[in-house]
Structure 1
Amino acid sequence: MLEKPNLPDEKIIASLQVEYGLRIQQVTFLPLGADLNTAVYRLAAEDGAAYFLKLRKGPFDETSVALPKFLSDQGISQIIPPIPAVTGQLWGNLEPYKTILYPFVDGRDGYAVDLTSQHWIDFGAALKRIHALELPPALIRHIQREIYSPQWRQDLKAFVERFERESFNDPLAAQLAGFMQARSQVVLDLIDRASRLARSLQSGPAQFVLCHSDIHAGNILIGDDGALYIVDWDNPILAMKERDLMYAGGAQFGSRRTPQEEENLFYQGYGPARVDSAALAYYRYERIIQDLAIECEQIVSRSGGGEDRKQAFHYLTSNFLPSNAIEVAYQWDHAPR
């Protein structure tokens, strides 16, 4: 989130002393990310150590911390594991939040810095290791499996229909409605294509692997020392590998490289792979649909000028720009338009 939650810093400091045994000297809110249920901070301890604190509100899945700990224990250096609380569990409590603590890594995300050729290669190599892992049953049973749910498609279609019949007093919501009305045929076509591909994938055999599911540029951290990290394991899923492969070359990095250049470098690290073109097309469409539905909800369900709403509108409209997510998805999918 971009706006600091209504939570006094003193409460955070007191909670961390109880939950983690830390004496925190300074708390700095970081306006990062599009998730309205997550706030993040940089913490400075009295001993000079720096920490990254995530406050998670709402439903909390323990897998989001247990999985990165497991991946780090397997020697995957691109994963930053959470720091255990004094109880040994990988989170603490600060109602209505869960507190998740990490060592602070100085760096910038993939939107703020262009990935080098070596970063793309390292990214591919790390993802290959993750996809090849055998997970213990205790983890597998808590990770969702791909079911090609129509939920996001239904939600977005409902917004398209709502924008056609409803007027909005809020200026940003009214601007959104006009923007989406002008592009309703494109949006409905995306929904139709994703639905047809989902039915096809559901009826065929598929090999599922562990997928991060959300590896856009904002979840790639480049340390000041040049190291690459894959962060934010809130939504892992067992799915076809294309669930993650869609990001390289999918206009998800704001990169100066062409999609083909991204893919060429990525697969140098990932290695030879037989890519299911239907699955890749489905996941690219579905990601766009999910983003549009979430951003519509963020804008319509709230009012006022908040930075989170403005950012949501910027993200939504950027999907329709030349050479961005929608155009790239259509280029990959060779079905007639």
Structure 2
Amino acid sequence: MLEKPAIQDEHVKACLKDAYGLSVAQIDFLPLGVDVNAAVYRAVTEEGTPYFVKLRRGAFNEIGVQLPKYLHEQGIAEIIPPLATQTGRLWTLMGEYNVILYPFVDGQDGYEVHLTDQHWIDFGAALKRIHTVDVPSRLREAIPQETYSAQWRETVKTFLARVETDTWQEAVAAKTAAYLNEKRANILDLAQYTERLAQRLQAEPPPLVVCHADIHAGNVLIDTSSKLYIVDWDAPILAPKERDLMFSGGGQFGNDRTPPQEDALFYQGYGDTPVDPYALAYYRYERIIVDVAEFGNQLLLTDEGGEDREQAYLYLTYNFAPNGTLAIASNGDRTR
């Protein structure tokens, strides 16, 4: 969220005092991320200890805090664990928001800082540990499992039908509708091919592992000592390992390196592994479908969001840019 929500700072301070026993001297909103349902803050106690505070409204699955806590306890140091409240819970409530507290790690995300060769190697090694960790049944049973659902593809088709006939007055909504209409043929072809890949994977399901599911550059944090962290565990999933492998070489980390260069470094850390080309293609294409659906929901179904709206539009259009994620996914597709 780029614009501060209509929440008084004193309410957040009071929540942290009641739930965590923290006496907060200063709290600052951090304009980070494109998720309009999440707001983050830096809170500093009277003793000078900084904390990272996350407020999330809407759907909340507690596995998103329980799993990273467990993974950190298993020695995966690249994960920042949530802190417990005074009653031992990993989150608390403040009105319509779930509140989660973390240690504050001073650093920059992968959009703000260039990942070094060693960062890419460390990234691969961390993901390998995540994918191979033994997760107890009490946690594993709470993690959603991949179904290759057609939900987002159907949502996209609905939007494509609407933008042919409907009109929007709000400026960002209007240009979003025009852009989707312009890209109609590309998007329909993408949805149809992704559906065929989904059907293949449903018929012959690959093995499932614990996946983060959203490791783009914004969810990789590099601290001031050059240590790498994987953050934002809101929606982990049991899925084929390609659910996470798609991010290396998939156009999710800018243009510092070519996809083969990213992969060469990443797999130094991850190690040799067979990669299912159908699963890899599916996830890269499906991510673009999800972007179209989610940004459509955000930009066409509401006029809220302020600065977040323009940024969301830019993210949407990047998918179809000459060197964007669709072009990169197509160039790396070994299924056609």
TM surpasses 0.5: yes
Q: Residue 121 of structure 2 contacts residue 267 of structure 2 at CA under 8 Å; is this kept in 1? A: yes
Letter in 2 for 1:26: Q
Q: Could you say which residue in structure 1 is the equivalent of 2:123?
A: 123
Q: Which residue of 1 aligns with 2:273?
A: 273
CA RMSD of superposed structures (Å): 1.1
**Contact map agreement 2:319 2:325 (CA 8 A) in 1:** yes
CA deviations on 1:221-277 (whole Å, 9 max, x unpaired) are 000110000001111000100000000000011131000000000000000010000
Cα deviation for residue 305 of structure 1 reads 7.5
State whether residues 90 and 100 of structure 2, in contact with CA within 8 Å, keep that contact through their aligned partners in structure 1: yes
5+ long unaligned stretches in structure 2: none
What CA distance in whole angstroms lies between the structure 2 residues aligned with 1:335 and 1:220? 29
Task: Tell me the secondary structure at the aligned position of residue 145 of structure 1.
Answer: coil
**Runs of 4+ deviating beyond 4 Å:** none
* Paired residue secondary structure (2:266): helix
Matches of 2:160 and 2:10, distance apart in 1? 44
Could you say which residue in structure 2 is the equivalent of 1:108? 108
1:165 equivalent in structure 2 = 165
Contact 2:173 2:299 survives alignment (8 Å)? yes
Aligned residue number for residue 325 of structure 1: 325
**Letter of the aligned partner of 1:265 in structure 2?**
L
Q: Which amino acid aligns with 2:321?
A: L
Which residue matches 2:209? 209
Q: Which residue of 2 aligns with 1:2?
A: 2
* Separation in structure 2 between the aligned mates of residue 86 and residue 248 of structure 1, nearest angstrom: 39
**Alpha-carbon contact 1:114-1:255 (below 8 Å) kept:** no
Amino acid at match of 1:82: P
Instruction: Specify the alignment match of 2:152 in structure 1.
Output: 152
Deviation for aligned residue 1:155: 0.5
**Cα-to-partner distance string for 1:75-118 (whole Å, 9 max, x where unaligned):** 00100001110001111221111110001000000011110000
Report the more deviating stretch, 149-158 or 304-313.
304-313
**How much does 1:335 deviate?**
5.1
Mapped to 2, the partners of 1:314 and 1:29 lie a distance apart of: 23
Contact 1:170 1:304 in 2 (8 A): no
- Counterpart in 1 of 2:49? 49
CA distance in 2, matches of 1:304, 1:298: 8
Which residue identity lines up with residue 50 of structure 1 in the other structure? P
**Aligned residue for 2:26?**
26
Given that 1:107 and 1:221 are in contact with CA atoms closer than 8 Å, whether structure 2 keeps it comes out as yes
Cα offset for 1:205?
A: 3.8
Check conservation: 1:107, 1:223, Cα contact below 8 A.
Answer: yes
Deviation at 1:303, TM superposition (A): 2.1
The amino acid across from 1:98 in the alignment is N
- Map 1:1-337 to 2 at 5 A: 1-303=1-303, 306-334=306-334
1:112-141 Cα distance to aligned partner (Å, 9 max, x none): 111000000000000000000111011011
Deviation at 1:19, TM superposition (A): 0.4
TM-score when scaled to structure 1? Answer: 0.98
**The residue matched to 1:144 in structure 2 has which SS?**
coil
- Give the counterpart letter for 1:105 in structure 2: V
Q: Indicate how the Cα distance of structure 1 residues 335 and 140 shifts in structure 2: closer, same or farther if over 3 A, else same.
A: closer
- Whether the 8 Å CA contact 2:277–2:335 is kept in 1: the answer is no
| 1:127-181 deviations in Å (ceiling 9; x for gaps) | 0000001110110111011000000100011111111111222222111111111
What is the percent sequence identity of the aligned residues? 53
The answer to whether the Cα contact below 8 Å between 2:177 and 2:300 also exists between their aligned partners in 1 is no
Amino acid paired to 1:260: P
C-alpha contact (below 8 Å) 2:278/2:335 kept by paired residues: no
Distance 1:229 1:304, change over 3 A: closer
Contact (CA 8 Å) 2:211, 2:243: kept in 1 or not?
Answer: yes
- How far the C-alpha of 1:334 sits from its partner, in A, is 4.3
CA distance in 2, matches of 1:84, 1:17: 13
Task: Give me the whole-angstrom Cα distance separating, in 1, the residues matched to 2:204 and 2:335.
Answer: 19
Unaligned runs of 5+ in 1: none
